[in-house]
Structure 1
Amino acid sequence: MTTQPSLFIPHGGGPCFFMHEDGSVDPMWQPMQRYLERIIADLPEKPKAILMISGHWEEEAFTVHTGAQPALYFDYYGFPEHTYRLRWDAPGAPALARRAEALLKAAGFATGEEAARGWDHGVFIPMMVARPEADIPVVQLSLRGDLDPAAHIAAGRALAPLRDEGVLIVGSGMSFHNMRVRGPAATDAADIFDDALTAAVTDPDAESRARRVAAWEDLPEARFAHPREEHLIPLMVALGAGGDSPATRDFTDHVIGWKVSGYRFG
């Protein structure tokens, strides 16, 4: 079985790719849409399953969703009515959920299980673009509520064996996420942060890479880019799961004046 990479992807803003009932997408979001459309096609082979970590689910301990057929959790507000009737009916993967939980426990992490919460929009919105066929099982893993970067990198390292088992590991968030700023006022600072983050993420030395990304608050404009870091922390899991694999930036674009990037490990 071919080893899968791990990814950090941007998931956009709310149901941004599905705002129009006629299927059209606002030009601002089209480059990100095209990127998400190819993330499965660009893999070495179709993954056996996908483990996703979204910036929209936090628990006290790392928690796996064990449901066999999760519903959708529409955790966005103020959007057109039809966006609350979206469907994406991919199956869950309870066995994979418990395998991921076992790997985390073996690494010394406290864990939990949950079966009732639906997939939040950090999962189903990008996956509706990436895999509209909904034919790949998905497991969602929560963030740990302390949002400790090093702990999430370590959790990713614990989960890395799944890549050799045909599982694609995806961190879903945004590399820039400051909802209080829009347009040109944000652009210069967003560019500065993105350049610094990308330099850290693509450091060819894996140990140095992990140190630099864990210390993300030391990067220029860090707290401007992330007043709260829940949308960046999924990157830590993807990076940890990537291990020594080469790291590349495979997407970058400006949306709402923000420079936003996606990364691939392996």
Structure 2
Amino acid sequence: MKQPTFFLSHGGGPWPFMDGDYRQAHAQLEASLQAVPATLPERPKAILMISAHWEEDAFTVMTSPAPGMLYDYGGFPAHTYEVVYAAPGNPALAERVVALIEAAGLPAARDAQRGFDHGAFCTLVPMYREADVPVVQLSLKRGLDPAEHLALGRALNPLRDEGVLILGSGFSFHNLRLYGAQGREPSAQFDGWLQAVLPSPEGREGHLQAWRVAPAARLAHPREEHLLPLMVAAGAAEGDTATCNYHETGFLGGVTASSFRFG
């Protein structure tokens, strides 16, 4: 059965491995991620994860059969630099992804050394805590061109019929200087635009390519790496409607944040 695709807001740092107020601030996001598996048409054979935290000159695919960990954050408790998400890789899927990207005329590369970054493992821990679904991670392409990432998504579309769940992991608002009350208005404005343009496939890709003209666009995303996973998820779901599966108006002191399901 055809799998949907998702753009998931992934929260801050290693939050699933923490306790106290910071973990509690992610409670609504955590509940939305925990709910995803039960909404799928069947258990995925594998997950293809596109994280905001990996950029390369070409779309690069993790090929390790047993990926390690990449602790790409700072200032968190010592134990968060020892956590492990031990999902297996899937070299055969990695090669299938490379073939699809190259067949679409896009640049592809392989990386046998890279481990899961927090955009990947902090999204996956609430969804599949047992780490028993194989995961392949795929990079963004430097330059962060929306059209290229929409095209990447279109190239990956056949995977949905092969039991692969495509997850774009970023954040709908990513301006670290404006978290808190000062981010309330710009995040709400940009989120309102997302809620308006994403549900219908008609004209969606055009809107996403021109995202910079959206209300508060550059306040929401001074640099757009956390938005580009949305392009991949939407491109892979060309023709499908979208629904918002997570929406919060008070995240970390006032930010509006959302996640979306396509198909």
SS in 1 for 2:37: coil
Distance 1:110 1:18 in 2: 35
Amino acid at match of 2:117: D
Give 1:182 deviation, angstroms. 2.4
2:213 aligns with 218
Q: Answer yes or no: is the 8 Å Cα contact 2:68–2:115 preserved in 1.
A: yes
Q: Residues 24 and 176 of structure 1: is their aligned pair in 2 closer, same or farther, counting only changes over 3 Å?
A: closer
The correspondence of residues 160-179 of structure 1 with structure 2, limited to 5 A, is 160-179=157-176
Q: Normalising by the residue count of structure 1, what TM-score does the alignment of the two structures yield?
A: 0.95
Q: Answer yes or no: is the 8 Å Cα contact 2:200–2:240 preserved in 1.
A: no
1:14 aligns with 13
The correspondence of residues 161-200 of structure 1 with structure 2, limited to 5 A, is 161-200=158-197
The correspondence of residues 62-211 of structure 1 with structure 2, limited to 5 A, is 62-205=59-202, 208-211=203-206
Give 1:26 deviation, angstroms. 3.2
Distance 2:243 2:179 in 1: 27
Select 1:230's aligned residue among 220, 225, 236. 225
Give 1:204 deviation, angstroms. 4.2
Give 1:24 deviation, angstroms. 8.4
Q: Answer yes or no: is the 8 Å Cα contact 1:178–1:226 preserved in 2.
A: yes
Give 1:129 deviation, angstroms. 1.2
SS in 2 for 1:227: coil
Superposed CA deviations along residues 118-164 of structure 1, whole A, max 9, x for unmatched, are: 11000011111110011100000000001000110011000000000
Q: Residues 223 and 127 of structure 1: is their aligned pair in 2 closer, same or farther, counting only changes over 3 Å?
A: same
Superposed CA deviations along residues 1-47 of structure 1, whole A, max 9, x for unmatched, are: x1000000011000122222xx8863321000001111122111100
Amino acid at match of 1:246: T
RMSD value over aligned CA atoms?
1.2
Q: Answer yes or no: is the 8 Å Cα contact 1:197–1:216 preserved in 2.
A: no
SS in 1 for 2:42: coil
Residues 1:38 and 2:52 are matched in the alignment = no
Residues 1:255 and 2:251 are matched in the alignment = yes
The runs of at least 4 aligned residues of structure 1 exceeding 6 Å deviation read none
Amino acid at match of 2:242: A
Distance 2:257 2:73 in 1: 20
Amino acid at match of 2:3: Q
Distance 1:59 1:124 in 2: 19
Select 2:240's aligned residue among 245, 249, 253. 245
Distance 1:68 1:216 in 2: 37
Q: Answer yes or no: is the 8 Å Cα contact 1:155–1:240 preserved in 2.
A: yes
Q: Bigger shift: 141-150 or 255-264?
A: 255-264
Q: Answer yes or no: is the 8 Å Cα contact 1:197–1:213 preserved in 2.
A: no
SS in 2 for 1:237: helix
The gaps in structure 1 that reach 5 residues or longer are none
Amino acid at match of 2:18: M
